[in-house]
Structure 1
Amino acid sequence: MSARTISIHHIRGALAGARRKGIDLDPLLHQAGIAPVLLDDHRARVTAEQAARLVRVLIATLDDEFMGLGPHRSPRGTFAMMCHAAVHSADLRSALRRATTFYELFPGTPRFRVRYRGGAALVELDIRGVRDPDHFMCEGIMIIWHGFCSWLIGRRIPLRGMDFGYPAPPHREEYDLVFGCRSTFGRGGTTAATFDRKYLAMPVVRDRAALSEFLRHAPADLAAVPDYATSAGQSVRRILEHAAPARLPSLDAVATQLSLSPQTLRRKLAEEGASFRQHRDDVRRDVAITALTDSDDTIEDIAARLGYADPSAFHRAFKRWTGTAPGAYRSART
């Protein structure tokens, strides 16, 4: 699973339905390996594996694949039934039609609609009636939709853009990474994904055996951060993630791998509202959080792995990234 980390905002959103039902959240968080105290720190982050475990725990506890966020319960197994209906389609357009028709059998479920604009296709999501103040369900459905459609045709569908029908959240910079495209907010009140309509004509290449393997982890793991790279920042991040954390390549070296001049790469990153240093720090932050969460390595060893000769420098950096000292972060986990 991805070493990238996920904002605590998404964890709060996932818990909204259980909280509304009066369920004690601490045991659910402990089952997922997430310290409850992290909910109170807006800079806190969790690993993709922790987030996926929490989704599985919530679905099992509530027997609801919408995790208490929809107007009606969607019992466990509903998503699998939809997948079985769609996987036998000839092409992606037919699969989407079957999936949409399937969910229309259930009252109050989110509705998809496919529209066309020139050579582009728009998949619009209607979530009226959904009690989702943090938009976790809306965003999760779009991630799962994209992941499932890409899986059906055996290749990732590059998105041209994501439009969200609500104001931009404080962590808006993460959306471009999650969806692999530029995201806009608050335009027209509609949430939609735009992509080249040619993908709708591509054949479904999966069969029943492949679906059985797919469903061992879906839908929970589909919500883990995808490994997309369609912007300069995402391409930079992918290169950095494949390097040793203590020896992350320089901007010049990354620019060479991307066949760009350093000046062009710096300009592209600035146009996306980020810097090369920020991406380097984000990679180190995520490696540190994963190590503190999933290993028993000493903090000194983690600091050395990240290239810090002085552990105190790592302490200062980690506190700047997350608002918490590394020792306190690990103690909160346990």
Structure 2
Amino acid sequence: MLAEVYGTRRIEFEAGPPAVTFSAADADAPFPRADPALAAILDEHARITVATARPVLDWLGRFHLALEAAVEAGPPELGDVARRLAMGPRTLQRRLSDEGTSWRDELERFRRQRVEHLLRETSMTLEAISARSGYSDPRALRRAVHRWYGRGPAALWTSSRAGRAGRAG
């Protein structure tokens, strides 16, 4: 039976880990009784799968996705992000420490990137930007921007609008 399926009588039993090895010619040969309709379906499925594939994230990448999801739900809490990653808050803190960072550093980095993008690329109000960045109110956002840039959001907002207007004209 196996000789018919594989087309060879050279079958070894108890020869180490199970493996099947095909030569290049075998791999390129058409299957007997191949179904062209099924082949077309599988080719299309493979094309779509490759086109929509997302990279496999490392642990810190998964943390960043969980943090972003938590911010979308409102001001993020360490415990909420830990639950999203199926771990306790202390374990999350240890994992971040192993990566050379902390909850506070990662939250600050995320917020700064989000705020900078929203100030420069959108016409959202400070209230909307503070909500989309996980701040409880616009005052907290203003304090953070001043801490990061030494000036308030209005200065960034104005300079980014002027820069875009210059590029457009």
Which TM class, normalised by the smaller chain length?
0.5 to 0.7
State the secondary structure of the residue aligned to 1:243.
helix
State the Cα deviation string for residues 271-330 of structure 1 (Å, max 9, x = none): 111111222222222221222122212224323444545533211202323444211112
| Alignment of 1:296 onto 2:123 | yes
CA contact (8 A) 2:82 2:89 kept: yes
Question: Equivalents in 2 of 1:253, 1:309: separation in Å?
Answer: 16
State the Cα deviation string for residues 92-116 of structure 1 (Å, max 9, x = none): xxxxxxxxxxxxxxxxxxxxxxxxx
Query: Counterparts in 2 of 1:173-192, with a 5 A limit?
Result: none
Question: Equivalents in 1 of 2:126, 2:74: separation in Å?
Answer: 18
- Number of paired residues? 113
Q: 1:258 to 1:305 in 2, by over 3 A?
A: closer
Aligned residue type for 1:283: F
User: Which residue of structure 2 aligns with residue 325 of structure 1?
Assistant: 152
User: Which residue of structure 1 aligns with residue 99 of structure 2?
Assistant: 272
Question: Equivalents in 2 of 1:306, 1:331: separation in Å?
Answer: 20
Higher relative CO (CA 8 A, sep ≥ 6), structure 1 or 2? 1
| Alignment of 1:240 onto 2:67 | yes
User: Which residue of structure 2 aligns with residue 311 of structure 1?
Assistant: 138
Structure 1, gaps ≥5 residues long: 1-204, 212-225
- Residue in structure 2 matching 1:229, options 57, 60, 71: 57
| Alignment of 1:253 onto 2:80 | yes
| Alignment of 1:284 onto 2:111 | yes
> How far 1:257 sits from its partner (Å)?
2.3
- Which protein shows a greater Rg? 2
299-308 vs 258-267, greater mean Cα deviation: 299-308
> What is the TM-score when the length of structure 1 is the normalising length?
0.29
Question: Equivalents in 1 of 2:70, 2:82: separation in Å?
Answer: 15
Question: Equivalents in 2 of 1:228, 1:329: separation in Å?
Answer: 35
Q: What's the RMSD between the two structures over aligned residues?
A: 3.1
Q: State, as a whole percentage, how many aligned pairs show the same letter.
A: 35
317-326 vs 268-277, greater mean Cα deviation: 317-326
Q: 1:305 to 1:206 in 2, by over 3 A?
A: closer
> How far 1:253 sits from its partner (Å)?
2.2
State the secondary structure of the residue aligned to 1:329.
helix
> How far 1:267 sits from its partner (Å)?
0.8
Structure 2, gaps ≥5 residues long: 1-45, 163-169
Query: Counterparts in 2 of 1:138-157, with a 5 A limit?
Result: none
- Residue in structure 1 matching 2:89, options 262, 273, 289: 262
